[in-house]
Amino acid sequence: DAGVTQSPTHLIKTRGQQVTLRCSPKSGHDTVSWYQQALGQGPQFIFQYYEEEERQRGNFPDRFSGHQYPNYSSELNVNALLLGDSALYLCASSPSGTGDYGYTFGSGTRLTVV
């Protein structure tokens, strides 16, 4: 049973460019959340998607946007990249639209902005 799958694993982008990160949730999960983890810090919540809509958003600018597809997979888009966007981006999924059963995380995408 595949867990949460993220792609790509690593990415190098130039400041000002745009990037798209992808996530496939664990089988049976319908809710996808995205987190940003800077080096040495805990993950910070970006937003959560449920039923193809953004349900909750953290303190991130509009440059960060997302999408959820009918098969529950999700994308995170970041426009006008800044050096400070360099981080590990983590996707988490959960079943039934709530956190009752905890969250399952993927291996992350390491984004480096130069």
88 binds other proteins (CB under 8 A): yes
Distances (CA, A) of 4 to 9, 103, 105: 13, 10, 6
93 binds other proteins (CB under 8 A): no
Where does this chain touch other proteins (CB under 8 A) — which range of 15-23, 60-68, 72-80, 87-95?
87-95
22 binds other proteins (CB under 8 A): no
107 binds other proteins (CB under 8 A): yes
Q: Which residues contact 104 (CB under 8 A, 6 or more apart)?
A: 3, 4, 25, 26, 29, 92, 93, 94
The DSSP result for 26-37, as a single string, is PTT--EEEEEEE
Q: Which parts of this chain interact with other proteins (CB under 8 A)?
A: 4, 6, 31, 33, 35, 40-45, 48, 50, 55-56, 58, 88, 90, 92, 98-108, 110
